[in-house]
Amino acid sequence: ATISPMKKEHAIFILKIIILLFLDQLLKNRAEFFFAEKSVSLNSFIVLEYTKNIGIAFGIPVIGTPLLLANVVIIIFFVVMLVRLSDFSHRITFTSASLILAGAIGNLIDRLRFGFVRDFISIGPWPTFNLADTYITIGVILFIIFRKKILGENFHIFRSK
């Protein structure tokens, strides 16, 4: 039995998300183990330090965990709908969507398990972040840069007038 190219692409897409989630959770676990008691300065600009982020992006405080979880679920729903509208003839679509979904799900796992997100990378004046945050940032940047290619004929939905 042969697998259709589209089913193969979807299987690869899901596998990418699983691998990215595994790496995110692995690094968060290692960071908690190694940096919970002491931070490590890689240089004068980059520090590895374990922190518990109870807020949303960039540590902005939020009132109530249910509201925060609802926002994350809405974002995941939005990305899934965006994926359904996307032109999957381009690999950048799979890459962008898998990064955003893996990042959102990775941080959602932390929120559901611990009630906070585990962060461990501190660069200069930026708030401490984690690998999932990096996935989301890179995925969104790729989407913005390649949005016309990703959305194909549906590009008009997101175009400003």
Catalytic residue among 24, 87, 110, 119: 119
CB 97 within 8 A of CB 139: yes
At 39, list the tokens: 């931070």
* Residue 72 CB coordination number (10 Å): 16
24 catalytic residue (yes or no): no
Alpha helices per DSSP H over 36-156? 65-85, 91-114, 131-145, 147-151
Catalytic residue among 24, 87, 110, 133: 133
Q: How far apart are CA 78 and CA 105, in angstroms?
A: 13
Q: How far apart are CA 38 and CA 92, in angstroms?
A: 39
At 141, list the tokens: 């940047």
At 93, list the tokens: 């679509």
Nearest to 51 by CA among 108, 113, 118: 118
Active-site residue numbers?
Answer: 119, 133
